Amino acid sequence: MSKTLFDKVWDSHVIRNIENGPDVFFIDRHFIHEVTSPVAFLGLKSRGNTVLYPERTFATADHNTPTINQHLPVEDPLSANQLKALEENAAEWGISHWGLGHKKNGIVHVVGPENGITLPGATIVCGDSHTSTHGAFGAIAFGIGTSEVEMVLSTQCIMQPKPKKMRINVNGELGFGVTPKDVALYIISKLTTSGATGYFVEYAGDVFRNMTMEGRMTVCNLSIEMGARGGMIAPDEKTYEYIQGKPLAPKGEAWDAAMTYWETLKTDDDAVFDKELTFNGADIEPMITYGTNPGMGMGITNNIPNADAVEGGVATYKKSLGYMDFSEGDSMIGKKVDFVFLGSCTNGRIEDFRAFASIVKGKKKADNITAWLVPGSHEVEDLIKEEGLLDIITEAGFTLREPGCSACLAMNADKIPAGKLAVSTSNRNFEGRQGPGSRTLLASPLVAAATAVTGVVTDPRTLLS
């Protein structure tokens, strides 16, 4: 029977199918971080269980870590306590741990691929919804809860009903100044934040084939924001080229064997999806959000739609605009902005810093803007320096911080103050997401850069040559 890419990977990891229940699903690779793992380790201990395959779990600290002065002790005692718990748990069970100060430390969804832990055909989970990022490599990757973290630690399995399958095709060419982030925000604006709930998505078509691995990661990362558990893209030459030679990638004969398998990882021509959607890449503009969920986005030259023109409840829509202090019909362009955040597992990779630098080169940061530029990992940080991007952004009046999740979820000190407006390259514009009372506009690194130098929301195409 014909299979989709998703079927091939899913079915090969099912140990047992429970009738009218979930599949017992084997996990190849498990990432943990300091926030969603401590209670899982406590549970493991209280049941008298052990970690079954410590070599299949990888720990990194990212959510709580400061992004300045990482060499000093962490000031917040609660954050310090979580970081210590991760370190101690990893040491106790023999789990690899890239903690604060380690040269491989960074955001879990950035360091996994960088180190060749993320592989095509693998199943990958983490107590973090943006685990969907790793689907860019043709892996099945998704976020889990802490109970499931404990399951994976003690049994290397979770119990999941197989999701339905959706294919999203985007064909044609992207316009000038349109990035992978815009493609994802465009799709989410069409589907809403619940449009893909219950589905696992495969992204197909020219636009994704032509994307770099970094771009594909940005798209897959945002799958959860349309409600999908995850999204994936069939591996191709770009995927193999990215992985080959990475520290933990298969080598020699193991590489050849893996390649033979990976080349089978594509959807059969006559395979059937439960739902299929097709968009035209040429229709996509640089995007920006205006509300309090990632589905409330629009082309940057558009105006905020009227409540009667959007799907869903009018009261919820008006509450959202009220929180943002915006009105129906408003244009985003020209709105005065206080903060710009470049970073996160969505847009904290080298390509995002290249994009940012391409706009700010030879210009100056606007005086009203506080800018936080946070690389996704030390490896990204090193590349920023090696490629001369640090000089460009420094000359333009910006400083580079140290790696971590930072203001994306504001668990560390990087909090946008109440009432302030931020243009952020991260993934969520929920109420208070970037700090209590903060207001977030999600956009691409190009929009963030254009805004950072003008001080107001700016269409990057007006600054790009």
Binding mask 289-318 for another protein (x = CB under 8 A): ----x-x----------------xx-xx--
Regarding 8 and contact with another protein (CB under 8 A), the answer is: no
Of the candidates 238, 275, 319, 363, which one interacts with another protein according to CB under 8 A? 319
Residue 164 pairs in a beta bridge with 199
Of the candidates 94, 161, 245, 247, which one interacts with another protein according to CB under 8 A? 161
Tell me which DSSP letter residue 305 carries: P
Binding mask 390-429 for another protein (x = CB under 8 A): -------------------xxx------x---------x-
The string over 410-436, giving b where at least 16 C-beta atoms fall within 10 Å of a residue's C-beta and e elsewhere, is bbbbbbbeeebbbbbbbbbbbbbbbbe
- AA identity, residue 207: V
For residue 79 the two structure tokens come to 């954050």
Total residues interacting with another protein, rule: CB under 8 A? 81
Nearer to another protein, 213 or 405 (CB): 405
Binding mask 29-68 for another protein (x = CB under 8 A): ------xx-xx--xx--xx-x--xx---------xx----
Which of the ranges 139-147, 281-289, 328-336, 386-394 carries the binding residues for another protein, by CB under 8 A? 139-147
Regarding 22 and contact with another protein (CB under 8 A), the answer is: yes
Write the CA distances from 295 to 194, 219, 225, 404, integer angstroms: 9, 14, 8, 25
For 213, the enclosing helix (H) or strand (E) is helix 213-221
Residues 251-280 that bind another protein (CB under 8 A): 254, 257-258, 261
Nearer to another protein, 114 or 381 (CB): 114
Check if the beta carbon of residue 194 is closer than 8 Å to that of residue 102: no
Write the CA distances from 451 to 77, 285, 341, 429, integer angstroms: 35, 16, 11, 17
Binding mask 113-132 for another protein (x = CB under 8 A): ------x--x----xxx---
Work out the angle at residue 123's Cα, subtended by the Cα atoms of residues 34 and 233, and round it to the nearest 5 degrees: 110
Regarding 157 and contact with another protein (CB under 8 A), the answer is: yes
Q: Which residue has the tokens 């316009």?
A: 175
Which of the ranges 154-162, 264-272, 353-361, 385-393 carries the binding residues for another protein, by CB under 8 A? 154-162
